[in-house]
Amino acid sequence: MHISLAAERLFTIAGIPITNTLLVSWGIILLLFVIALLISKNLSSEKPKGLQNFIELIFEKLLDFMGSVTGSRKDSIKYFPLIATIFIFVVLSNLVEIIPGLGTIGIMEGEHGHETLVPFLRSSSADLNFTLAIAISAVLSIQIFGIAALGFFKYWKKFFCPPWEKPYFIGTFIGILELIAEVAKVISFSFRLFGNIFAGEVLLTVVLVLVPYLAPLPFLFLEIFVGFIQAVVFSMLTLVFIKVATAHH
Amino acid sequence: MELLDKLGIDWRLLVAQIINFGVLLFVLHRFLYKPILGVLEKRRKEIKENNERTKELTEKVERAEEEYEKRILEAEKKSQAILKETEEKAGKLKNELVEEGRKNAAALLKESEEQSMREKDEIRESILKETNALVKESVRKILQRVADKKTSELLWDKAEKELKKHDN
């Protein structure tokens, strides 16, 4: 049994290492692209069918849920693309870990006697590059929405308050704290998701090695639940931060 | 740097994942969110419009019902007023007619009384005239029987004078 914090490198293209998590990310993007194309091709306003109904249901529920945070449908629609993309991408990346054979099919690498398994696929949320990328995108978007809502100078005054203006040094100090908080958001976002999903993968691997039959089943259910909750937490926290960043004080 | 290596953080992979996210956001926004949200909003708008229209029509019906009730009530009031006025007029007319009848009857009674009085007077007059003539005749006949011609004529003149006095 080999457990690695970093995603395993499979091969390199033009100097860029291609990891198993990157492959899974591409797979998810491709899948979503196909679904999006299928839906937009057969879109019907009067008589929605099958998949469109399902997507509409999810979107409507997500919009309602967002409405409970934003308090207005207009705002919910405005932030919907970002929040929905985070939710869908993260939830699919999380749920990929329960696919059988994901962490067990691969190639053996290494020296004689020290061979380790390099799985072809690995849940992309169990890679800090992925979680960090989404966290950075989310926090950057929060700043952009904040600037769009309040104006550049008013928004940045939150972080850079000159000590000669009210409330003087306290304002400057709070500004520094706010700046640290923004960086902390990136760290907490990425490590929370990575920690949960990576731990889940490790847990599943360990249980699978110890008791291969039946025992992993409850853990698989637990991982489905955790994967969904983490996606909700990530997307809703982003929405709450956007709401705070765009609020007029 | 060592820590980043241990955690598997590689800036090239990080950039690749950020690009992945950006591409996914663009693709989903273009092919999924826009059309589906468009459909949802269109449907929502239609439902809202239909609801508003239903509300409007319900209000219209309610207003029409109120107007109908009001008109019925007004008509009832009007008919009651007309009935009352007619009754009053009829009462007044009745009173007038009764009064007129009474007056006519009184006039008629008075006239008939006068008529009967007149007739009575006439009868009395004629009786008196007849009696007078009878008395005159009787007196003349008696005078002619009891006295001579001359005396009787004298006495007749006197008696005639006396009778004329009574006539007047």
At A83-106, the pLDDT tens digits run: 999 999 999 999 988 888 777 787
Question: Binning pLDDT at 50, 70 and 90, where does residue A126 land?
Answer: confident
Q: Which residue on chain B is closest to A76 by alpha carbon?
A: B37
- Inter-chain CB proximity A45 and B36 less than 8 Å: no
Q: What is the mean pLDDT of residues A100-118?
A: 74
Question: Binning pLDDT at 50, 70 and 90, where does residue B136 land?
Answer: confident
For residue A85, the distance in angstroms to the closest alpha carbon of chain B comes to 6
Provide the CA A188 distance to its chain's centre, in angstroms: 12
Residue B168 has a pLDDT of 61
Question: Binning pLDDT at 50, 70 and 90, where does residue A111 land?
Answer: low
CB A150 within 8 A of CB A248: yes
For residue A156, the distance in angstroms to the closest alpha carbon of chain B comes to 24
Residues of A in contact with B48 (CB under 8 A): none
Q: Lowest-confidence range among A34-48, A193-207, B45-59?
A: A34-48
- SS3 at position B78: helix
- Inter-chain CB proximity B8 and A4 less than 8 Å: yes
Question: What gap in Å lies between CA B36 and CA B77, rounded to an integer?
Answer: 60
The tokens describing B8, both together, are 């598997």
Question: What gap in Å lies between CA A158 and CA A176, rounded to an integer?
Answer: 9
Percent of chain A with pLDDT over 90: 47
Residue ranges of alpha helices (H) inside chain A are 20-41, 50-70, 73-95, 128-150, 152-156, 168-210, 216-246
Q: Lowest-confidence range among B85-89, B109-113, B157-161, B162-166?
A: B162-166
pLDDT value at B22 more than 70:
yes
Q: Which residue on chain A is closest to B33 by alpha carbon?
A: A81
Residues 6 or more apart from B35 whose CB is under 8 A from it?
A39, A40, A43
Going from the C-alpha of B158 to that of each of A20, B133, B153, B154, B155, the distances in angstroms are 182, 16, 9, 6, 5
- SS3 at position B124: helix
pLDDT value at B167 more than 70:
no
Range of the domain at B119: 2-167
Question: What gap in Å lies between CA A85 and CA B38, rounded to an integer?
Answer: 17
Interface A-B: count of C-beta contacts within 8 A: 120
Residue A44 has a pLDDT of 79
Supply φ then ψ for residue A110, to 5 degrees: 120, 180
Residue A230: CB atoms within 10 A of its CB come to 23
Among A233, A248, A241, which Cα is nearest to A65's?
A233
For residue B42, the distance in angstroms to the closest alpha carbon of chain A comes to 8
Residue B148 has a pLDDT of 83
pLDDT tens-digit map of B30-66? 989 998 888 888 888 999 999 999 999 999 999 999 9
Given CB atoms, is B3 within the 8 Å cutoff of chain A?
no
Q: Which residue on chain A is closest to B11 by alpha carbon?
A: A129
User: Is the pTM higher than 0.95?
Assistant: no
Question: Binning pLDDT at 50, 70 and 90, where does residue A234 land?
Answer: very high
- Inter-chain CB proximity A37 and B31 less than 8 Å: yes
Residue B132 burial (10 A CB sphere; 0-12, 13-18, 19+): middle
Given CB atoms, is B26 within the 8 Å cutoff of chain A?
no
Question: What gap in Å lies between CA B79 and CA B73, rounded to an integer?
Answer: 10
Residue A196 has a pLDDT of 93
Q: Would you give the DSSP letter of residue A82?
A: H
- SS3 at position A121: coil
pLDDT tens-digit map of B147-163? 888 888 888 888 888 77
For residue B78, the distance in angstroms to the closest alpha carbon of chain A comes to 54
Question: What gap in Å lies between CA B55 and CA B57, rounded to an integer?
Answer: 5
For residue A129, the distance in angstroms to the closest alpha carbon of chain B comes to 5
Question: Binning pLDDT at 50, 70 and 90, where does residue A112 land?
Answer: low
Question: What gap in Å lies between CA B13 and CA A122, rounded to an integer?
Answer: 15
pLDDT value at A163 more than 90:
no
- End-to-end Cα, chain B, rounded Å: 172
Q: What is the mean pLDDT of residues A65-92?
A: 93
Question: What gap in Å lies between CA A207 and CA A237, rounded to an integer?
Answer: 32
CB A140 within 8 A of CB A156: no
- Inter-chain CB proximity B33 and A33 less than 8 Å: no
Name which of A124, A128, A235 to mutate to probe chain B: the one with the most chain B Cβ atoms within 10 A of its Cβ.
A128
CB A135 within 8 A of CB A128: no
Q: How many domains does chain B have?
A: 1
Q: What is the mean pLDDT of residues A8-12?
A: 80
Q: What is the mean pLDDT of residues A13-35?
A: 89
